[in-house]
Amino acid sequence: MKNLDLELKIVKELALRVGHILTTKQKSKLEVFLKNDGSSVTNIDREISQLISKELKNQFPTYGILDEEINAETKNDERFDNDFCWFIDPLDGTISYIKNQDTYGVFIGLTHKLKPVLGVTYQPNLGELCYATKSNGAYIEKNNQKQILTVNKNTEIHTLTSYFRNDPELNKLLNKINPKTTTPMPSSLKTIEVAKGNYNLSICPRESYMNLWDFCAPQIILEEAGGKITDLCGNLIDYAGCIINKKGALASNGIIHENIIYKLKN
Last residue of a domain, one of 148, 167, 201: 148
pLDDT tens-digit profile of 193-206? 999 999 999 999 87
Residue 90 belongs to some domain of the structure:
yes
Classify strands 40-42 and 64-67 as parallel, antiparallel or unpaired.
Answer: unpaired
Question: Within this chain, do residues 68 and 24 fall inside the same structural domain, yes or no?
Answer: yes
Question: Within this chain, do residues 91 and 61 fall inside the same structural domain, yes or no?
Answer: yes
For position 20, what pLDDT does the model report? 94
Q: Which residues of the chain have pLDDT under 50?
A: none
Question: Within this chain, do residues 23 and 82 fall inside the same structural domain, yes or no?
Answer: yes
β-strand partners of 40 = 34
Residue 95, domain CATH: 3.30.540.10
What residues make up the domain containing 233? 158-265
Question: Within this chain, do residues 134 and 227 fall inside the same structural domain, yes or no?
Answer: no
Question: Within this chain, do residues 90 and 188 fall inside the same structural domain, yes or no?
Answer: no
Residue 214 half-sphere exposure, CB side, CA atoms within 13 Å?
A: 26
Last residue of a domain, one of 127, 148, 169: 148
Single-letter amino acid, residue 155: T
Residue 182, domain CATH: 3.40.190.80
Residue 153 belongs to some domain of the structure:
no
Question: Within this chain, do residues 35 and 134 fall inside the same structural domain, yes or no?
Answer: yes
Domain count, the chain: 2
For position 74, what pLDDT does the model report? 53
Question: Within this chain, do residues 35 and 125 fall inside the same structural domain, yes or no?
Answer: yes
β-strand partners of 182 = 159
Other CB atoms within 10 Å distance of the CB of residue 113: 12
Residue 33 belongs to some domain of the structure:
yes
Question: Within this chain, do residues 125 and 54 fall inside the same structural domain, yes or no?
Answer: yes
From the number of C-beta atoms within 10 Å of its C-beta (0-12, 13-18, 19+), residue 162 rates as: buried
Question: Within this chain, do residues 211 and 110 fall inside the same structural domain, yes or no?
Answer: no
For position 3, what pLDDT does the model report? 93
The structure's pTM equals: 0.94
